[in-house]
Amino acid sequence: MACLAEPAVADLRFVAVGNPNTGKTTLVNALSGSSLRIGNWPGTTVEKVETCFPVEGRRACLVDLPGSYSLAASTAEERLTRDELLAGRPDAVFDVVDASNLERNLYLTLELAELGHPVVVALNLLDEARARGLELRPEILEERLGVPVVATVAVREQGMEGLVKAALRARPPTVRLDYPEGIESAVARLEPLIQHPSHRWMALAALAGEPIALEEPAARLVETLKVELAARGIDPFLQIAGTRYQAAREIAQSVQASRPGAHRLTEALDRWFLHPWLGIPLFLMGMLLVFRFTFEFSDPWVHWLGRVQEVLGGWIAALPLPGLVASFLADGLVGGIGTVLAFTPVLFFLFLALSFLEASGFLARSAFLVDRLMKAMGLPGRAFIPMILGFGCNVPAISATRTMESFSDRLRVALAVPFAACSARLAVFTLFTSIFFPRQAALVVFGLYLLGLLVGMLTALALGRLTPPSEAGSAMELPPYRIPTWKVVWRQASARTWIFIEGVGGAILVSVAAVWVLLNLPPGEISQSLYARVATGLTWALGPLEIHDWRLAGALVPGFVAKEVVIGTLGVSYLQSDPVAPLGLLEGMRGIATGLGEALWATLLAFPSLLGVPGLHLPPPEAPEGLAAALSTSISRSGALAYLVFVLLYTPCVGTLMALRLEFGRRWATLSALYQLVVAYALAFLAARIPL
């Protein structure tokens, strides 16, 4: 009966829209206080944020939509914004307008006017506009548009109260554009046939060639009208857009008392960061810094989480449980949770760095600098960052493709990323090279990295040939540099990390549990287990790769869960492992606590190491005693090379696969896994033919 107690007054529904880089997210944060809720709409891959706060005794829910330059949607994010505005009838649309960029921002405002929703304009970044010597007369804007206009400085939470009050008296804009005669008469004929509150905007969009789904009589009329207009030499798209731009420019000029001067900080920083000679070296140093920041800072936390996992395993071993149950709890369940958690520090610190780069304006600059290189692969400049990040960890690299606009470009990068040799694969490389190629270890590892890079680049290139190039082109804004607030960066990073855990945690747990079942059932010797049977079957398939030992073939199966597991499994199957030592409650707690202290200390120590000179050091192989000797007799050198090539190229880990599924859907994740298996098999087959 709880539902009857709900208040009778319906919630207010607000929507926030605006051009990218207008401080919209900051404004939404300022309005909502701390009650931000992030939702990830599956399949759409773009984020839509909803937050609720009280307004005069009622509950107002504000949806923050992705930034758009216009309602003519050319990117996935812009499509989401348009669909949301067409589907719902919000009580007010917050149109966030960059005060120093009125001309362009008002284009969207004029489109909103044609939608017919109640609008309130937030004239944001007013401080920045003033700093650039721009004087504005908001009252004129209010008069011209016929909607409330509120001056705001969202970063300092100025004007928020006025904005909410104005939203309650928001009304549909009275401004009405007059299009050239040919367009107006076509709209007049089309409009009555469209059964949608926003019929004027819909009619104009349909004439301009937007993919708008119209009912039958209207859809046929659109085709007729287009032919008629074309016969008169009228291009509806150019005339409609032209009228709007002209109107926006005219209104902007009437509101501005002076022309904006240059953005000083941006001019000063760009002089260095986009310098003809220094630009690229500075950018590479910056990339290295992001890389080091992510991995140096997350490393202590990954270790600490591993320690927590050990302690939990020890506690379980201390419980009076049957061996098989204890083993399942310790290795299957806690191990699975540990695998999920091991990703989170890396993701969090990477998202922290990316959010900072995005909000400050550096990300756009990096695209400007390396655009020429990416163009050679048929990709936009923004593709560079995910590709580089893949060498650290594929999972955040795939999430980082979000910063790109075109779906097909994102997909191509995401399918190429898994071939980048991540740090987990390095562990396998170092062990095998130290046994089979002790003299040429560095050379072999370097060659493997290069091979991964090459396969990834060829993948992106080949896919580019198959899919048509992105029509939208690569033109983009280089936003002015701004110092982002910690609050915004922190929130965005934690929200994105949480979306990942929520989205992939379950699947990783299941696959870890499945591997446990294979290894431990039926109980007893590992050579009698299901795992051994599967592995023996695999040697038949892997024979052409010169991999004949079932233990080597089998280790590739748990390697699908995570590459770190390959060595552990080899250790177990060659040498048998000792059971987890039971641990006392206090002893374990102390372990966790000291680990936490050490992790905090190590994080602090990571700050100076960011400034240090980076060196390419191969970590010493972490392998159980005696494994090297056992391995060296079970495979030839050619076979070992084929094994390494296979490990480099086949499905990196279930986390990567789940990230692909989260971003692009199940179908693409499956296809990607199959593609990697085929490529890995083919190239490993060739590697096995190299006489060594």
Partner 1 sequence: MIWDKEAFISESYPGLDRAPEESALRERDPETMRCLTELAMNEEALVHAVGGPHLRARRIMALGLSPGARVRMVRRAPLGDPLEFDVSGCLLMLRCEEAAGIVVEG
We find the least distance from the C-beta atom of residue 238 to partner 1, in angstroms, to be 5
- Near partner 1 by CB under 8 A, which window of 243-251, 445-453, 630-638, 651-659? 243-251
Contact 163, 109 (CB under 8 A): no
Q: Report the distance separating Cα 393 and Cα 313, nearest Å.
A: 26
Candidate residues 53, 368, 675, 685; the one interacting with partner 1 per rule CB under 8 A: 368
Among residue numbers 664 through 683, which ones bind partner 1 (CB under 8 A)? none
We find the least distance from the C-beta atom of residue 387 to partner 1, in angstroms, to be 17
Place of tokens 């709900």: 6
Closest CB to partner 1 among residues 226, 487: 226
> Does residue 372 touch partner 1 according to CB under 8 A?
yes
> Does residue 178 touch partner 1 according to CB under 8 A?
no
Q: Are strands 36-40 and 92-98 parallel, antiparallel or unpaired?
A: unpaired
- Near partner 1 by CB under 8 A, which window of 54-62, 183-191, 469-477, 581-589? 469-477
Supply 583's token pair.
Answer: 């641990």
Q: Report the distance separating Cα 276 and Cα 526, nearest Å.
A: 62
Residue 643: closest CA among 572, 545, 575: 545
> Does residue 609 touch partner 1 according to CB under 8 A?
no
Closest CB to partner 1 among residues 364, 421: 364
Distance in Å from the first CA to the final CA of the chain: 77
> Does residue 373 touch partner 1 according to CB under 8 A?
yes
Q: Are strands 119-124 and 92-98 parallel, antiparallel or unpaired?
A: parallel
Closest CB to partner 1 among residues 239, 638: 239
> Does residue 189 touch partner 1 according to CB under 8 A?
no
94 beta partners: 16, 120
- Near partner 1 by CB under 8 A, which window of 368-376, 486-494, 535-543, 621-629? 368-376
We find the least distance from the C-beta atom of residue 471 to partner 1, in angstroms, to be 4
Candidate residues 475, 611, 613, 616; the one interacting with partner 1 per rule CB under 8 A: 475
> Does residue 600 touch partner 1 according to CB under 8 A?
no
Candidate residues 53, 69, 490, 498; the one interacting with partner 1 per rule CB under 8 A: 69
> Does residue 241 touch partner 1 according to CB under 8 A?
yes
Closest CB to partner 1 among residues 483, 589: 483
Candidate residues 74, 254, 408, 494; the one interacting with partner 1 per rule CB under 8 A: 74
> Does residue 464 touch partner 1 according to CB under 8 A?
no
Residue 531: closest CA among 507, 547, 555, 509: 555
> Does residue 407 touch partner 1 according to CB under 8 A?
no
Contact 686, 651 (CB under 8 A): no
Other C-beta atoms within 10 Å of 175: how many? 18
Other C-beta atoms within 10 Å of 330: how many? 23
Residues touching partner 1: how many (CB under 8 A)? 61
R_g of the chain computed on alpha carbons: 29
152 backbone dihedrals φ, ψ, rounded to 5°? -135, 150
We find the least distance from the C-beta atom of residue 263 to partner 1, in angstroms, to be 8
Closest CB to partner 1 among residues 211, 524: 211
Question: Would the CA dihedral through 242, 247, 248, 252 be positive or negative?
Answer: positive
> Does residue 184 touch partner 1 according to CB under 8 A?
no
Closest CB to partner 1 among residues 40, 101: 101
Candidate residues 139, 161, 184, 235; the one interacting with partner 1 per rule CB under 8 A: 235
> If you count them, how many residues does the chain have?
692
> Does residue 213 touch partner 1 according to CB under 8 A?
no
Closest CB to partner 1 among residues 161, 235: 235
Supply 368's token pair.
Answer: 């400007």
Q: Report the distance separating Cα 526 and Cα 533, nearest Å.
A: 10
> Does residue 249 touch partner 1 according to CB under 8 A?
yes
Contact 145, 113 (CB under 8 A): yes
Amino acid at 545: L
> Does residue 503 touch partner 1 according to CB under 8 A?
no
Contact 452, 419 (CB under 8 A): yes
Residue 357: closest CA among 510, 445, 483: 483
Other C-beta atoms within 10 Å of 35: how many? 9
> Does residue 587 touch partner 1 according to CB under 8 A?
no
Q: Report the distance separating Cα 92 and Cα 109, nearest Å.
A: 13
Q: Report the distance separating Cα 428 and Cα 203, nearest Å.
A: 61
Closest CB to partner 1 among residues 276, 524: 276
We find the least distance from the C-beta atom of residue 245 to partner 1, in angstroms, to be 4
Among residue numbers 305 through 344, which ones bind partner 1 (CB under 8 A)? none
DSSP H stretches of helix in 137-263: 138-145, 160-168, 181-190, 199-207, 216-231, 236-255
We find the least distance from the C-beta atom of residue 45 to partner 1, in angstroms, to be 20
> Does residue 220 touch partner 1 according to CB under 8 A?
no
> Does residue 219 touch partner 1 according to CB under 8 A?
no
Amino acid at 271: R
* Degrees to nearest 5, angle at CA 513 with 511 and 516: 115
Sheet holding 149-151, edge to edge: 36-40, 47-55, 58-64, 12-18, 92-98, 119-124, 149-151
> Does residue 237 touch partner 1 according to CB under 8 A?
yes
Among residue numbers 101 through 120, which ones bind partner 1 (CB under 8 A)? 101, 103-104, 107
Could you check whether the bond before residue 522 is cis, i.e. omega within 30 degrees of 0? yes
We find the least distance from the C-beta atom of residue 507 to partner 1, in angstroms, to be 36
Q: Write the interaction track for partner 1 spanning residues 118-137; mark x where CB under 8 A is met and - where it is not.
A: --------------x-----
Q: Write the interaction track for partner 1 spanning residues 267-306; mark x where CB under 8 A is met and - where it is not.
A: ---x---xxxx-xx--------------------------
Q: What SS3 state is found at 331?
A: helix
We find the least distance from the C-beta atom of residue 226 to partner 1, in angstroms, to be 6
Among residue numbers 558 through 577, which ones bind partner 1 (CB under 8 A)? none
> Does residue 465 touch partner 1 according to CB under 8 A?
no
We find the least distance from the C-beta atom of residue 100 to partner 1, in angstroms, to be 6
- Near partner 1 by CB under 8 A, which window of 295-303, 471-479, 525-533, 591-599? 471-479
Contact 279, 369 (CB under 8 A): yes
Among residue numbers 255 through 274, which ones bind partner 1 (CB under 8 A)? 259-263, 266, 270, 274
Q: Report the distance separating Cα 347 and Cα 353, nearest Å.
A: 10
Supply 253's token pair.
Answer: 């000029």
Binding site for partner 1 (CB under 8 A): 69-70, 72, 74, 100-101, 103-104, 107, 132, 180, 209, 226-227, 229-230, 233-239, 241-242, 245-246, 249, 259-263, 266, 270, 274-277, 279-280, 364, 367-373, 375, 381, 471-480
